[in-house]
Structure 1
């Protein structure tokens, strides 16, 4: 079975992206970081590979999506609390990100907000109560 996940995202300015995510508290694995790519550590086995668009083009013969114009993926990260959701979004906004939607709320069970990074990629941050996770989104 798979051991790690690497989400690959094209970025126009790698240093700007690393600075942005660094302000949110993310770190980068130097073993997989150079002038074309940066390995952002999200969790123990979860990584986002920030690839310069020129470098990313070498992995596909399809056109790369301009995340300011279209959405190819929504990356959702779980948070330990509503406060963590708010803190990360506020850090993203202070670092130059933008917010396009109001907060999403489902009583005390679920709370989420999102931001766009400087390249237009959408990051969803969500808190789900332990009871909500236990019963599942469909009440199972």
Structure 2
């Protein structure tokens, strides 16, 4: 008898937690709204400070804590949403659109390269503020219902 009640309570709690998260589509829209004009390349220092999958056709890469680029891919990138790690090819410390690629790493992944179609710098400070505003709006909406 305790198991069904516990499972139902866990499902309700998890559903509540999931609603605090910004969806991939909303997050991609935020990144696009705060991205500048396309650039042909960016400097790559040999490691990423972080990365954020934005569905399976785009991602954001953080080269420094306050330096982020939106990478729009030339098609779908298999397993990007579930990857533990990625790597980005580069040419002498620069990543070029239409030449370099993102490679998803991890066990059981095919390592199929995902070509970078477009690179756009993102205003990291404005992006963080917009994400916080979006979360607060979601919380307020949830409290109303």
Which TM-score band applies after superposition, normalised by the shorter structure? Answer: under 0.3
Give the TM-score taking structure 2 as reference length.
0.23
**If each structure's helix is expressed as a fraction of its own residues, which one has the higher value?**
2
Q: Which has the larger radius of gyration?
A: 2
Given the two structures, how large is their TM-score scaled by the length of structure 1? 0.24
Of structures 1 and 2, the one with the larger relative CO (CA 8 A, separation 6+) is 2
